[in-house]
């Protein structure tokens, strides 16, 4: 397998949200002997994955359909053929997204039923107030523009940074122009960006790279849309690590859950729009914990 193909494969697997350990293990198994597959210990030594993590990594790869376990003493492991493995990986993400949407849909319908039968004023509104789903970039952007424009007090954003972010920002005028108008009319906006690293500690070099990228992002938002430090009710921060879930909150009651496209992680595949005061309060609390104790804010940009 050529070096160029390996690099392209690594990029694809990274876009499919595989960890560095998973990527290194799978690449190692692709090039390993098919007649005498390696043991976990041998895989650990060759891939650089710590021995204490290797079984967990191999189990994750098996669940995603990339690796086959050969029952022996000790167990051995081999990669499925590349075309089969990639097909399995795409199916895995497709099924995961469907399960998430189904879960949110069921929860939204339960909440709708409870609210409709209660004395709470929202309970008598039309059912579409309580839940809806949107697919596709145009529909999702239109949904965001609508609720940003109607926000009265507060907007909380969870956003993620990757290699395409700085290229996409100039095309986000539908959202960011609406957001600037909301800020100008007094809506308080907290915008938290994640670089989506896993829980492992980062090197100082990676931290500095994040700092520089975020500085570029802030300069871009200031130049294109007017989000400058002079805005008293707009604040933007970042964290290094991946957020447990992607959601935005409008006026402490409306939550928009975001599901990524497994093949293009820089895109949002679909969103679920839910009105639930209790859930919004809980999620807002989690957000504020990250915002106050984990996030980093640049003083000047």
pLDDT value at 280 more than 80: yes
Give the pLDDT mean for 154-182.
Answer: 91
The contacts of residue 166 (CB under 8 Å, 6+ apart) are 213, 216, 217, 220
Give the pLDDT mean for 143-164.
Answer: 91
What are the structural domain ranges in the chain?
A: 3-80, 96-293
What is the C-alpha to C-alpha distance for residues 59 and 40, in angstroms, rounded to an integer? Answer: 11
Per the prediction, the chain carries an average pLDDT of 85
Q: For the packed helices 82-116 and 3-15, what is the interaxial angle rounded to 10 degrees?
A: 10
CA 136, 139, 141, 147 torsion: positive or negative?
Answer: negative
pLDDT value at 102 more than 90: no
pLDDT at 116: 55
- Beta carbons of 295 and 237 less than 8 angstroms apart: yes
Q: If you search the block for the tokens 């993620």, which residue do you land on?
A: 160
What are 18-69's pLDDT values in tens digits? 999 999 999 999 988 888 999 999 999 999 999 999 999 999 999 999 999 9
67 phi/psi in degrees, rounded to 5: -130, 145
Q: Spell out the CATH class of 96-293.
A: alpha beta
pLDDT value at 130 more than 60: no
What are 182-227's pLDDT values in tens digits? 999 999 999 999 998 877 888 999 999 999 999 999 999 999 999 9
Domain 3-80 has CATH 3.40.50.720: no
Band of residue 234 on the pLDDT scale cut at 50, 70, 90: very high
């Amino acid at each position: 397998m050529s070096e160029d193909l390996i690099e392209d494969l690594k990029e694809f697997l990274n876009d499919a949200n595989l960890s560095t350990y998973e990527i290194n293990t799978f690449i190692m198994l692709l090039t390993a002997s098919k007649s005498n597959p390696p043991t976990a210990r041998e895989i650990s030594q060759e891939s650089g994955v710590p021995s204490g993590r290797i079984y967990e990594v191999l189990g994750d790869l098996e669940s995603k359909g990339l690796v086959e376990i050969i029952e022996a003493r000790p167990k051995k492991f081999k990669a499925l053929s590349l075309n089969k493995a990639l097909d399995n990986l795409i199916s895995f993400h497709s099924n995961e997204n469907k399960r998430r949407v189904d879960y949110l849909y069921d929860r939204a319908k339960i909440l709708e039923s409870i609210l409709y039968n209660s004395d709470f004023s929202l309970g008598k509104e039309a059912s579409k107030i309580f839940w809806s789903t949107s697919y596709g970039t145009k529909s999702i952007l239109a949904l965001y523009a609508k609720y940003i424009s109607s926000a009265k007090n507060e907007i909380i954003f969870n956003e993620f940074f990757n290699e395409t972010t700085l290229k996409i920002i100039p095309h986000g005028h539908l959202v960011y122009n609406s957001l600037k108008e909301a800020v100008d009319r007094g809506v308080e906006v907290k915008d938290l960006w994640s670089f989506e690293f896993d829980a492992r500690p980062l090197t100082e070099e990676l931290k500095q790279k994040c700092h520089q990228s975020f500085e570029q992002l802030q300069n871009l938002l200031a130049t294109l849309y007017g989000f400058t430090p002079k805005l008293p009710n707009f604040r933007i921060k970042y964290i290094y690590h991946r957020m447990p879930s992607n959601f935005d909150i409008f006026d402490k009651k409306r939550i928009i859950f975001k599901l990524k496209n497994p093949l293009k992680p820089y895109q949002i595949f679909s969103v679920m729009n839910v009105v639930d005061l209790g859930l919004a309060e809980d999620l807002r609390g989690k957000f504020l914990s990250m915002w106050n104790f984990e996030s980093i804010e640049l003083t000047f940009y």
